[in-house]
Structure 1
Amino acid sequence: MEAWFDEKKLELKASTEAGWTRTVRNLLLPQLANLLLIERTRESIVSWLRSLDVGRKRPMSNKRLASIQTVLRQALAIAVERKLVDVNPLASYTYSRKISVRVSTFDLEALAVKDRVDPFSTEEQRAAETTKTMAGRREVKLLRPALEALAAQKRHT
């Protein structure tokens, strides 16, 4: 794992490298380093992923679980490529938790308020709003159907 990651770091952007370093150092190496490669089955990995929530106030998000698996999946793919194992147990598989959400009446009201659109006023639209970068300024050519759709929408807004 360490040798693979030392090589992999060379192709990663700085922000990706920082996140992956935390994943490798804090999660993958401490938990999986004591297993032989052939012991890294899908079932053992899923069991370990489930255990990550033990002792936490809130369950780990599916997004975080997916990013952990991305790092591990790539490391295991190299192990297959180098003929250290026959199969990658995470190939074409991502573990995620089905999270049920209960919405109370109060929450429904909050969601309704959240979904209200607050468009810019005419004055705000005319204000000197500028793009974040010069590259953000550009002309876009629209076909006649798009122009007609915008004109029709303008009558309603």
Structure 2
Amino acid sequence: MGRDGRGVRAVSDSSIEITFMYRGVRCRERLSLKPTATNLKLAERHKAAIEHAIAAGTFDYAITFPRSPRAVQFAPESSRETVAGFLTRWLAGKQKHVSNSTYEGYRKIVELRLVPALGHAMVVDLKRKAVRDWLATLQVSNKTLRNIQSCLRSALNDAVDEELVEVNPLAGWTYTRKDQVKEDDVDPFSPEEQRAILASIDGQARNLVQFALWTGMRTSELVALDWGDIDWLKGEAYVSRAMTQAAGGKAEVTKTVAGKRSIKLLMPALAALTAQKAHTFHAGNEVFQNPRTGERWAGDQPIRKTMWVHAMKKARVRYRRPYQTRHTYASMMLSSGEHPMWVAKQMGHSDWTMIARVYGRWMPTADLDAGNRAEAMWEPPEV
């Protein structure tokens, strides 16, 4: 059967082949049906339905024959877009809608990670397994893995919106690996080290370091601080911006709600600000400047190169990066018995779980009298 012009024929004991014309190409597809008389009739009706859909302009090869090699050949142009092409287009579109630092992070991930590894694949063919297998080969931290997946997941969400793919293969899934035991990054300066560092510098450099040690502000927040952010009556600094190298010298709003906060200025921090007024207050803009340029610091790298490395050597203090001033503040406050929630708020965290996890060793344990005040309120019932 099938040789009389109907385009349907048995080709094995378990399959039937149908033949039809599509876009000027003679197509042959197999159906997994035993070539019984009944099934051959079904195949004829299926072929007729295909030809009707072709005539109506509604035929979708990939839906009808998803495993056929011709599905790719006849796929719409948009669905044949490579991951590299799509991500390049997606990245260009993102530039106007995200901060400079976020865009720069996306750009590095796309150009240095995603395109070299996955760029050759078609967007429609990208599967979770391929992403997982590639991620498993990377010798990076879980944080970097999360950043890579966050970027790709965001791009694929847009691919769904553009109807390039029906489902985001990364939706509801994140690849992680068990972190290797690594050296603790929290390495605060002791009081003696702090005094030695401050004694090794003067002027604006000393004011900046002292203020950093006694506010716990991130370096990116310190360099974005303006005099208009200081409330002298309340003794507070309002933090709402940060400036990173990736931002290209532009201050950006903080990324989290908790990051936008008012910091109580303790006496050493206020003293540093008072001393700094002689240098930059009258200009009314940035609080801290690079003494060599007379302009706002561009980020932590110029701070390291201009004064930090030299100060550490002169003070004969074991080298740690400037960010350790933030860890120093947290450890000082917690060791002094300040409430972890207050410390978390000062440092721009939404809750104190991270404070407890990272700085737990500096949190005093309950003393021997803990609970006595509550116990004194209890009155035993009369017998």
Interval containing the TM-score (normalised by the shorter chain): 0.5 to 0.7
Among 75, 100, 108, the residue aligned to 1:22:
108
Q: CA deviation at 1:85?
A: 0.6
What SS is found at the alignment partner of 1:11? coil
Q: Structure 1, residues 15-38: CA drift from partner, whole Å, max 9, x if none?
A: 222221111111111211211223
Contact 2:141–2:179 (8 Å) recurs in 1: no
Among 107, 111, 132, the residue aligned to 1:46:
132
Residue in 2 aligned with 1:148? Answer: none
With over 3 angstroms needed to count, the CA separation of the structure-2 counterparts of 1:136 and 1:2, relative to structure 1, is: same
Q: CA deviation at 1:96?
A: 1.1
* In the alignment, structure 1 residue 62 sits paired with structure 2 residue 142: yes
Among 122, 127, 132, the residue aligned to 1:36:
122
TM-score, scaled to structure 2: 0.28
Gaps of 5+ in 1: 53-58, 122-127, 141-152
TM-score, scaled to structure 1: 0.63
Q: Counterparts in 2 of 1:102-117, with a 5 A limit? A: none
Residue in 1 aligned with 2:154? Answer: 74
Among 163, 172, 191, the residue aligned to 1:83:
163
Higher mean Cα deviation, 14-23 or 80-89? 14-23
Gaps of 5+ in 2: 1-86, 196-206, 216-221, 236-336, 339-383
Give identity over the alignment, percent. 32
Larger relative contact order (CA 8 Å, sep ≥ 6): 1
Structure-2 separation of matches of 1:115 and 1:21: 33
Q: CA deviation at 1:136?
A: 4.7
Q: CA deviation at 1:83?
A: 0.8
Structure-2 separation of matches of 1:99 and 1:6: 34
The structure with the largest strand share of the pair is 2
Q: Counterparts in 2 of 1:105-144, with a 5 A limit? A: 132=222, 133=225, 134=227, 135-137=229-231, 139=234
Residue in 1 aligned with 2:65? Answer: none
Q: CA deviation at 1:115?
A: 8.2
Structure-2 separation of matches of 1:93 and 1:16: 22
Structure-1 separation of matches of 2:231 and 2:102: 28
Q: Structure 1, residues 22-70: CA drift from partner, whole Å, max 9, x if none?
A: 1111111121121122321111101111122xxxxxx301111111111
- Which protein is bigger by CA-based radius of gyration? 2
Over 4 Å off, 4+ runs: 114-118, 128-132
Higher mean Cα deviation, 7-16 or 64-73? 7-16
